[in-house]
Amino acid sequence: MAPGGRPAAIVGRLARWDVPFGADMSDAIVDALLERPEIAAIRADRFPAGVPLRGILRNDARIVTLSPGEIAVREGDYGNSAFLILDGDLRVVLPPGLPRETLGRQTPRNAGWLATLARALRPSPKFPETRDVGAAAGAAATAADRDPRALTFLQDIPAILDRHRSVRLGAGEIFGEIAALGRVPRSATVFAETPSRLLEIRWQGLRELRRHDPGWRRMIDERYRRNALLNHLQAHAFFASLDDATLASVAAAVRFRTYGDADWHLQHRRGRDAPPAGADHAADPIDDEAVIAGEGGPADSVYLIRSGFARVSCIVGGGRRTVTYLGVGAQFGLAEAHTAWRAGGEVRLSQTLSAIGQVDVLRVPFRVLAEHVFPGLREVPPPYATQRRYEDDAFVDWLIDERWINGTQTMLIDLDRCVRCDDCVTACAATHDGNPRFVRHGPVSDHWMVANACMHCQDPVCMIGCPTGAIHRHELGGVVVINDDTCIGCGTCAASCPYDNIRMVEIADRSGTPVVDEAGKAVRKATKCDLCVGQPGGPACVRACPQDALRRTGGQALLLHGVEGVRR
């Protein structure tokens, strides 16, 4: 029995290669790939028996053919794969990049007062989830009967090459690995200039190649250093004063490493749906987190969070206490390393840094810090500390364990004030053609409920794998929105969302007739909270709450100010 007396369920873990990346990959194709110089150079014997090189190529990669003008990756999209060019030429469009319309994106526009008034006076559709048939027909295809890549074509390539700066990529070159490994948006658009054949490797496979093959690791790391590391380092105050040459030597010494569980969102979701069998006393999630730097270890590096989240904890009594969590751009170990440099002796870390989910970390060695950074460093931030009472830890642990820290617009409801009138839900529905985009229900801690509404995460794992880029960050504030016209209803985003905040709905035309595809299957669309983007006045749910019980807030604000502090 699970806690609360509910019948327990046994949770099985997803096997790594249950679903191959490409359905068409065959042994013959894998054999041909193994002959290519970029792959042949990989020493297959370095790979563990459970994750052989052949298996990676067979299950974590697929062949993609592109016609001239077809876009391989689109600037701003979140991607989960990198590409090795097998044949053909591609072009990387340099900043400022291609116009939004060319890339098939919607143009953001705030609705005016008149339009808003007209919407308010217009009666809601009689049927849920109705669409204009024309628009729906254009997207009336299921994931099964459409090329999952569903990419955009660029017309008139010569004109594009004429108007935009670009760089050619040829056979044997790799691109897309930074976005794939770092869960950051694609930094540039890449399209085919000639008929091309690519090997698309999903990030799980890329991670293994990087982990087990020094050549690939070197290549990916070098590309990262060349393209992104300098910018990342410059964003830190303690590197800001370094000149380019010094920064380059710092970058050369930096170690890049990924910790934690890459599939954390899937496991987290499954864990929430069904608690582990026989768990009378839930294990402390801290114990399962990969340790990046352990308490008591030497303060010989500074750790910079490049993506994801990490927990800072320390031993208190018989357990470990969460001090805080760190997000992108935060550092760990600077104060201790600086103390060691000043004292000229060895200093031990007083806290542990561990991975929450998956986290990418840059490790800057002490030697580099002592040579280039510490001599010119005027202000050193103190080690992380907390003034919380022990009893307040429960809320912080809840924020972190449940990954609410990932949210930037988490819907938090004070149940002691909420009169359950559902004005928030009806306001949401009124703003979305009668269809509410959230459920006023969700996990509760004390008197705070996190409702099932899209949290517009810092690390939006829902975007990873969207075949059409329909789910993307909106230019107005970067909220995560879904382009209904390009959503093919594959459900990847809904399955990936660890918080169950995306719903797949079957659509109907304006008369209420269900829309189906050629095979008679219902056409589905992904729906979720869009934070009323484009609507004047901000989220309707917040404005509609008569008791001021509903807030949209980020994890960082919650941790810094507590929920009571966020209220006002």
Partner 1 sequence: MWGVAAGAVGALALWRLHALGSGRNPDVVTGGWLLLSVLALALYGARRRLRVLPLGPASAWLALHVIGGVACVGLYLVHAGLAWPSGAADQALAALFLVVFVSGTVGHLLQALLPIRLTRAGDEIIYERIPAEIARLRAQAESTIVEAASACGHDTLGTYYAQSLAWYFDRPRFTLQHVLGTAAAQAWEARKLAAVERLLDPRERASLAGLAHLCRAKRAVDVQYALQTLLRRWTYLHAPAAAAFLVMAAWHSMAAFVYSR
Residue of 536, 560, 561, 565 interacting with partner 1 (CB under 8 A): 536
What is the nearest approach in angstroms of partner 1 to the Cβ of residue 566? 15
- The answer to whether 94 touches 188, Cβ cutoff 8 Å, is yes
Residue of 75, 289, 423, 517 interacting with partner 1 (CB under 8 A): 423
For tokens 């149940």, the residue is 415
- Compare residues 117 and 240 and give the one whose CB is closer to partner 1: 117
Phi, psi of 317 (to 5 degrees): 60, -125
Return the structure tokens found at 437: 């985009």
Distance CA 518, CA 71 (A): 27
Q: Is 8 in the site for partner 1 (CB under 8 A)?
A: no
- Compare residues 367 and 447 and give the one whose CB is closer to partner 1: 447
Distance CA 199, CA 425 (A): 46
Q: Residue 213 CB: number of other CB atoms within 10 A?
A: 20
Q: Is 295 in the site for partner 1 (CB under 8 A)?
A: no
Distance CA 219, CA 206 (A): 12
Distance CA 132, CA 429 (A): 18
Q: Is 415 in the site for partner 1 (CB under 8 A)?
A: yes
- Compare residues 122 and 348 and give the one whose CB is closer to partner 1: 122
Q: Is 439 in the site for partner 1 (CB under 8 A)?
A: yes
Helix locations, 53-109, DSSP H = 53-59
Position 263, amino acid: D
By C-alpha distance, which of 215, 130, 195 is closest to 507?
A: 130
- Compare residues 32 and 444 and give the one whose CB is closer to partner 1: 444
- The answer to whether 64 touches 175, Cβ cutoff 8 Å, is no
Residue of 119, 146, 164, 567 interacting with partner 1 (CB under 8 A): 119
- The answer to whether 455 touches 404, Cβ cutoff 8 Å, is yes
Q: Is 447 in the site for partner 1 (CB under 8 A)?
A: yes
Q: Which stretch binds partner 1 (CB under 8 A): 276-284, 348-356, 412-420, 485-493?
A: 412-420
What is the nearest approach in angstroms of partner 1 to the Cβ of residue 429? 9
Residue of 417, 473, 521, 567 interacting with partner 1 (CB under 8 A): 417
What is the nearest approach in angstroms of partner 1 to the Cβ of residue 476? 15
Q: Which stretch binds partner 1 (CB under 8 A): 270-278, 320-328, 374-382, 409-417?
A: 409-417
- Compare residues 170 and 538 and give the one whose CB is closer to partner 1: 538
Q: Which stretch binds partner 1 (CB under 8 A): 256-264, 309-317, 437-445, 509-517?
A: 437-445
Residue of 237, 279, 444, 476 interacting with partner 1 (CB under 8 A): 444
Q: Which stretch binds partner 1 (CB under 8 A): 139-147, 182-190, 223-231, 424-432?
A: 424-432
Q: Which stretch binds partner 1 (CB under 8 A): 203-211, 262-270, 342-350, 541-549?
A: 541-549
Q: Which stretch binds partner 1 (CB under 8 A): 289-297, 404-412, 443-451, 460-468?
A: 443-451
- Compare residues 296 and 536 and give the one whose CB is closer to partner 1: 536
- The answer to whether 404 touches 95, Cβ cutoff 8 Å, is no
Q: Residue 24 CB: number of other CB atoms within 10 A?
A: 8
Q: Is 422 in the site for partner 1 (CB under 8 A)?
A: yes
Q: Which residues of 340-353 are buried (b: 16+ CB within 10 A; e: fewer)?
A: bbeeeeebebbbbb
Q: Is 416 in the site for partner 1 (CB under 8 A)?
A: yes
Strand spans (E) along 7-66: 61-66
Q: Is 552 in the site for partner 1 (CB under 8 A)?
A: no
For tokens 């090459």, the residue is 161
Maximum distance among all alpha carbons in the chain?
78
Instruction: Check residue 275 and report its DSSP letter.
Output: P
Return the structure tokens found at 223: 């590309």
Number of residues that bind partner 1 (CB under 8 A): 37
What is the nearest approach in angstroms of partner 1 to the Cβ of residue 127? 18
Strands 166-169 and 90-93 turn out to be antiparallel
Strand spans (E) along 181-235: 190-192, 196-202
Residue of 9, 11, 117, 394 interacting with partner 1 (CB under 8 A): 117
Q: Is 540 in the site for partner 1 (CB under 8 A)?
A: yes
Q: Which residues on neighbouring strands pair with residue 87, listed in sequence order?
A: 197
By C-alpha distance, which of 133, 71, 106 is closest to 482?
A: 106
Q: Which stretch binds partner 1 (CB under 8 A): 29-37, 50-58, 334-342, 547-555?
A: 547-555
Residue of 56, 198, 228, 449 interacting with partner 1 (CB under 8 A): 449
What is the nearest approach in angstroms of partner 1 to the Cβ of residue 134? 25
Q: Is 535 in the site for partner 1 (CB under 8 A)?
A: yes
Distances (CA, A) of 155 to 100, 151, 193, 528: 14, 13, 11, 32
Q: Is 441 in the site for partner 1 (CB under 8 A)?
A: yes
Q: Is 542 in the site for partner 1 (CB under 8 A)?
A: yes
Q: What does the radius of gyration of the chain's CA atoms come to, in whole angstroms?
A: 25
Question: Which positions lie near partner 1, rule CB under 8 A?
Answer: 5, 116-117, 119-120, 415-423, 426-427, 430-431, 439-441, 444, 447, 449, 535-538, 540, 542-549
